[in-house]
Amino acid sequence: MLSLSSPPWLLLLVLFFFANGSATVVSLAENVTLATLPSTSPISVSFSTTSSVVAPISTELENQTASSSNLNTNNEASDEQTGNSNSNTSSHSRNINGLPSSNSNIDNANSNSSSVSSLSTTTSAISGVDQQESLILATPTALNGSGTPPEHQTIGQAPPTKGEQEAILRALDWLKEKRASDYGWGNDTHVVILAKELSGGRDPNDSVDGHVQVIQELEDTLSVKEMEIEILAMLDRHHTLPKPLDLDKLARYVLALGSLCKDPKHFHGHDLVATLQHHEPAQDIEFALTTLSACSSAAHVRKRQIRRLLDIASGVTDQSVDAIAMVILALRCIVTDHRHRHLQHFVRRPARGLATLQDQRGSFGSLRSTALAMQALQDLEYDPAGHWNRTAASRYILSRQRADGGWSEEPLQDGQEPDIGVGLTADIILALGWKGLGAVRALQCDHVIRESSDPTENGEPKLAVPFGLSSSAEESDAKNISYTYTLWVGSNVTESFSLSLVSPKNTSFFKAMTQAAEMDPRFIFEAREWPNGHYVHTLYGKKEEPRGYHYWLLYRLPELPDPNNTPGNQLIAPVGVDELMVEDGEHYLYWYKKL
């Protein structure tokens, strides 16, 4: 029994108990206060002292819904990239969702919290915003709110996600198994080499035995040599038989050589780029591919080639997914040249058109078309009208990968083996690896840097914006231009006349016709004047006959017209004689024929 004169042990114990209990109660109170904050509450304290980097994020995401399920769906690719778990992503999503609004409860809670708790909350919120910001920049689908992104912000600059990287490695292993005894892949050697080079192959951190690595390098060298033999054999057949060149394949050979930093303009005594440009394909998709190949080699892209690309881009509703995607890739390559930066906005229309063709599954049709569309659209500047979902496209492709690592279009056609799809698999590697056909120019190989340093285009200034699209002071240059003007009569071309003309720059074709009529009476013409310009109905004394379906058709050609190789309808001039501006080195044909 304790007496009053003895030390007050009981009193000390009681005081100690109350002290500890009080501390515990305070700590629990703080924790309860913070834990009971609604997930949608704004963390105003977090942004009252943060840097200016954080502020735009809250504005951009003002009207977004960022539930954990939606964000997990839209940002799946970026989640794997940053290595965060889905639960962490959900937590960050809840923090972001409440940024724009205000709530007095949070202020009260923060005022009751200790300074340590406030600092912890602030740090957590800033960390969440930083991580969310990286997710947004890495995934086009995250920016679907009403906010406006910062100027010149690019979407999609990120490496493959973990899932995509695993799929790429499985695909590369499968392609290695499919390599033939000559170390090639049949008709797909070039695209496999291109995919292997641009994908980067295996992670350099992977432990690979030095001896095995030497063998792999030797095998890759043999594959490249096999491709070079294929190219030389194709050129030999073309010159000796003669056999028409497969321009599509030659263009892909040029891209593959470019990915190896081998100059296709000096290929065993052959200029493959000049060969490509000498034979202009009639099909739009082949033309876009050959132009992309030439541009990727830093070769001179002619004005008429750029104009044809712009003509194709202006009629995207009539084109296939593959054609639109290839045109976008070609135009994007061209505008990387500082001499053509002023044409950059012409990429926007076909990109918007292509984005609208994505279906709910994320695909753009076939697997090959989806892979090509992904290559064309990724890394483009943000455009609200050209919104597309890369994550969905990637998920669609990954879901179609076979167990052996390859891809093939299904259902299989009769007679096809189930292990087909070497070329398709290589195309998909290019799409998933974020470095597609458009990345060859960006490799900055020696021959590309050397050609790009030339301040002119073969002595010419940069391309002027096509007439009718815009105007500039550059077009007022009084430099004379040379061109040809030809008349054909009859569907079988029974009569033909040509003139070589020289006119001032910015001369309309109507003025050129007047000039030709003064030089040669066979070119005298008659025309009706309408509110939208002149309509030519008579040339060389031949008047159009609507009842017999005989009309005069105007063509704009890259080469002098050849009666043995008549031009297709895709070369018909896209505008009338008043709006069509004659250009240096071009050829114009008026053909009287039956439709």
pLDDT tens digits, residue range 450-466? Answer: 766 554 444 343 343 33
Is there a contact between 86 and 153 (Cβ–Cβ < 8 Å)? Answer: no
Q: How confident is the model at residue 108 (pLDDT cuts 50, 70, 90)?
A: very low
Domain 162-452 and domain 478-594, same fold? Reply is no
Which tokens belong to 419? 């292990």
Q: How confident is the model at residue 280 (pLDDT cuts 50, 70, 90)?
A: confident
Which tokens belong to 102? 């205000």
Helix (H) or strand (E) holding 591: strand 587-594
- pLDDT tens-digit series, residues 355-378: 999 999 999 999 999 999 999 998
Query: Length of the chain, please?
Result: 595
Q: How confident is the model at residue 13 (pLDDT cuts 50, 70, 90)?
A: low
CATH architecture for residues 478-594: Beta Complex (2.170)
Q: What is the CATH number of domain 162-452?
A: 1.50.10.20
pLDDT of residue 55: 38
Q: Which of 32-41, 143-152, 522-531 has the highest mean pLDDT?
A: 522-531
Q: How confident is the model at residue 400 (pLDDT cuts 50, 70, 90)?
A: very high
Q: By mean pLDDT, which of 86-95, 244-253, 474-483 is the weakest?
A: 86-95
- pLDDT tens-digit series, residues 135-145: 333 333 333 34
pLDDT of residue 128: 41
Strand order across the beta sheet in which 533-539 lies: 525-530, 533-539, 542-543
- Between CA 62 and CA 68, with CA 63 as vertex, the angle to 5 degrees is 95
Percent with pLDDT over 90 in the chain: 43
| Beta carbons within 10 angstroms of residue 307's beta carbon | 18
- pLDDT tens-digit series, residues 35-80: 333 444 333 333 333 333 333 333 333 333 333 334 344 444 444 4
Q: By mean pLDDT, which of 62-76, 203-217, 260-274, 336-350 is the weakest?
A: 62-76
pLDDT of residue 387: 86
Question: How does the average pLDDT of the chain come out, rounded?
Answer: 74
- pLDDT tens-digit series, residues 311-325: 888 876 678 999 999
Please name the residue ranges forming H helices in 315-421.
321-335, 348-355, 367-377, 390-399
Q: How confident is the model at residue 8 (pLDDT cuts 50, 70, 90)?
A: low
Kind of pairing between the strands at 550-557 and 495-504: unpaired
The owner of tokens 């960390």 is 127
| Beta strands, E only, 466-562 | 480-489, 495-504, 525-530, 533-539, 542-543, 550-557
Q: What is the DSSP letter of 154?
A: B
Q: Say how far apart CA 200 and CA 192 lie, in whole Å.
A: 12
pLDDT of residue 190: 95
pLDDT of residue 209: 63
Q: What is the mean pLDDT of residues 244-262?
A: 93
Residue ranges of domains in the chain: 20-142, 162-452, 478-594
Above 80 in pLDDT, residue 259? yes
Indicate the residue type of 454.
D
Which residues, other chains included, contact 32 with Cβ-Cβ below 8 Å and sequence gap of 6+?
none
Above 50 in pLDDT, residue 521? yes
